[in-house]
Amino acid sequence: MKKLSVALAVFNEEKNLGACLASVKDIAEEIVIVDGSSTDRTVETAKKFGSKVLVTDNPPIFHINKQKAIDMAKNEWILQLDADEIVSPDLAKEIMSVISMTDEEIKAYQTKLPNRRLFLRHQELLEKRDGEIGTKTGEYCAFFIPRLNYFLGHYMRYGGVYPDGVIRLIKKGKAYLPAKDVHEQMVVKGKVGWLQNDLYHRDSPTFDRYIARNKRYINLLATELQESKKNKTFFAPIQYLLVLPFWWFMLTYFRHKGFRDGWPGFIFSFFSALRFPRAYLISLHS
């Protein structure tokens, strides 16, 4: 059976890291962690699972440390995770099965995925935004994994949140993070496939944590608006104060059926729509 490395970059993740590592300890031949000088017990938690730990600085572009962790991994296949992600038993089995397949077997496996149409439609949207992901020829070198996002006590399946595909399983030397932007896609030197089973993502278990993370992305958007000077155009006030928030709420809550997620669906659509006017106003006064 092929051996698997698990790689993470972390900073003050004491509360999340234990559950994440416990979910992969039975499939990981090695666990590699790059810690951005945490001030809590993150490193101690990591070492309890026998992880190889590198302590370094904590750059604003977190992908710098993610790529360091990927580079440290020694095995052919690498599962790159965030500390607030949990691998289910079914996903763990699927990962070990897929990395043991031949390329022809992987190709056949892709055609049998129950959610194949949904996954490919999601990938098309990502490629419209980010450009082509991977190549159309060659061997399979990376896999998207669908994520279930936990928000206010509920795993979200609507509102455009699911499948929230992220490239997490990669072949060493065949995929890397450019480390220029927090929203960037991996660069993959080969074909990209999908896994079927979900990765549990508990990034917003409380509303306070959601607001803190939301604020970070709002500040990044505000910086982008300043640097591009889009906040200075004639139509910017109408676009960012009225059009974009209204469009986003209608898109996520009604078209993408966010209402089916109940009260959390409404809160998510409302506050994610507010990022446009908030970022715009911050960009004017920073």
pLDDT at 213 over 90: no
For residues 226 and 286, is the Cβ–Cβ distance under 8 A? yes
Greater confidence, 94 or 228?
A: 94
Helix, strand, coil: what percent of the chain each, to 5? 45, 20, 35
Please name the amino acid found at residue 245.
P
Angstrom distance (rounded) from CA 176 to CA 189:
9
Confidence of residue 17 (pLDDT cuts 50, 70, 90): very high
Write down the mean pLDDT value for the chain.
94
* pLDDT band for position 96 (cuts 50, 70, 90): very high
Burial 96-134 (b: 16+ CB within 10 A, else e): bebbeeeeeebeebbeeeeeeeebeebbeebeeeeeebb
C-alpha distances in angstroms, 66 versus 74, 81, 203, 227?
15, 9, 17, 26
CA distances (Å), origin 51, targets 21, 22, 30: 9, 12, 7
Q: Residue 187: pLDDT above 80?
A: yes
What is the C-alpha separation between 77 and 201, in angstroms, rounded?
Answer: 22
- At residue 184, does pLDDT exceed 90? no
Contact 32, 5 (CB under 8 A): yes
pTM for the whole structure: 0.85
Give the distance from CA 141 to its chain's centroid.
18
Give pLDDT, residue 154. Answer: 86
Strand partners, 151: 154, 204
User: Are 21 and 86 in contact, with CB atoms under 8 Å apart?
Assistant: no
User: Residue 60 has what pLDDT?
Assistant: 87
